[in-house]
Amino acid sequence: MAEIIQNDGGGKQKGKRRAKKHSTHIDMTPMVDLACLLLTFFILTTAFAKAKVMEIVLPEKAEKTEKAPEVDTARALNVILVGDDKVLWYNGLANPAKPPLPTLHETDFSDDGIRRVLLQRNKEVFTLIAQMNEDVVTGKIEMPRDSIDAKRKKFLREDRKGPVVLIKAGENVKYKNVVDILDEMSITNIALYALVDINDVEKKMVADHLARTTGAE
Amino acid sequence: MGKIKMHKSPPRIDMTPMVDLFFLLLIFFILTATFRAQEAVQVDTPSSVSNKTTPEQHVITISVSKDNVVFFNVDNGIDTSEHLRGNILRAMAYQYQMKFTPAEVKKFEGLASFGLPMDKMKDFINAKDTEERDAMHTGIPMDSTDNQLLYWIRLSRSYYNDFDVALKGDRDADYKTIKKVIDILQDNKVNKFNLTTNLEDVDVTLENL
């Protein structure tokens, strides 16, 4: 292994016979081992220490007097989180003045769950962006990384047909589920979504739905 | 010509250059490593597909533990040289009519996140060790009557306007608490912030439809 070899002046062997004949070996193996260990440690820790973040931009808080912006009924997709990884969704808007109330569908956070619902509603924009990404990967079009993201944002801005997703979190919802649903928004490239408070009509709809499903079992 | 000489002793490989290189790399990594300040609470963050990294400085971190205890942390600025924490603590002390000695302010600058009301802050700074400190975290009050979190954010931003806000919630924290924190952020006109998450890979193509 690594060691320092000192040749103790081989030439002069005249007088003192008892002087050391052997060269002094300093065994550096443990030191090198330690250095390797520390090196590995520092390499690994520096590479993985950074946490990732998900950026979210919320609309400015509206003044009480201001009226909430109207959402096109045809585009509205309501997603209600009810805890226990369960998701309820319905199309359009629930308006007690205009019965019948929309039906709630129950799904979950699996790949075939809410993601499928969102993808089907957002097929057009998603296809555009997926196509662009594929073209970049296969080399059909060349563009720097920054402009891919800019282009994606442009597609989202120009979207006029995709769903407007209104995310409503009921009581007892864990934070994980909220992040999950926001994550689904970015996976499926939904252009417009908002975190909204759940209203009383929906609360009643959810309660009815849960009563029905647990009763049926 | 002649026979091939057999080595009698195993050949010695000179490893000096390798060792030199190792030490060089080691020193480089030690010097560049930035140690994360010890967090007062273990937070198990949810995962997302986002791969944006956390900003390094000028970050306000609001952590919410799984027991819905809210913690606040702010860094000291570039290379911890701007003494932002100290200034913010002084401003908070002024707001709540308290006095901190310069030694206490200095000690506070070296501490990490905290989750306790202002009236306990003095005990917190003067506590013996981390163990004693850990027992003190009861959460930063954020009721409408005593909204200290609002002031922590507001006064931090009065010292440095471009703070990034990272919201680090545990996956089992109640959304109700997170919502409250978000509301307070919005009251402070912070409409853009980051949710700290773990990276998770998801591949979706049109075939998944």
pLDDT digits (tens, 9 = 90+) for B16-47: 888 888 889 888 888 877 666 566 777 888 88
Position B1 scores a pLDDT of: 56
Min distance B97 CA to chain A CA atoms (Å): 31
A104 neighbors A89 (Cβ within 8 angstroms): yes
pLDDT in tens, chain A (217 residues): 555 555 554 444 455 556 656 677 778 888 888 888 988 888 877 755 567 788 888 777 766 555 666 777 778 888 888 877 888 888 877 776 666 677 788 888 877 788 888 888 887 778 888 888 888 888 777 777 777 777 777 777 777 777 888 888 877 888 888 888 888 888 888 888 888 888 888 888 888 888 887 765 4
Interface test with B, best of A1, A45, A48, A53 (most B CBs within 10 A): A53
Position B157 scores a pLDDT of: 86
Q: Bridge partners of B147?
A: B142
Answer whether A175 sits within 8 Å of B178, measured CB to CB. yes
Residue A52: alpha-carbon gap to chain centroid = 9
Phi, psi of A172 (to 5 degrees): 55, 25
Position B2 scores a pLDDT of: 63
> Which of A188, A187, A192, A191 lies closest to A118 in space, CA to CA?
A188
Nearest to B175 among A50, A56, A178 (CB): A178
Phi, psi of A209 (to 5 degrees): -65, -45
Position A193 scores a pLDDT of: 84
Polymer length in residues for chain A: 217
Position B37 scores a pLDDT of: 59
Element (H, E) at A195: strand A192-196
Position A142 scores a pLDDT of: 77
CB contact burial B9-24 (16+ within 10 A = b; e otherwise): eeeeeeeeeebeebee
- For residue B197, list chain A residues with Cβ-Cβ distance below 8 A: 51-54, 179, 183
Position A10 scores a pLDDT of: 47
Q: Which residues does chain B have with pLDDT short of 70?
A: 1-3, 5-7, 34-39, 79-80, 203-209
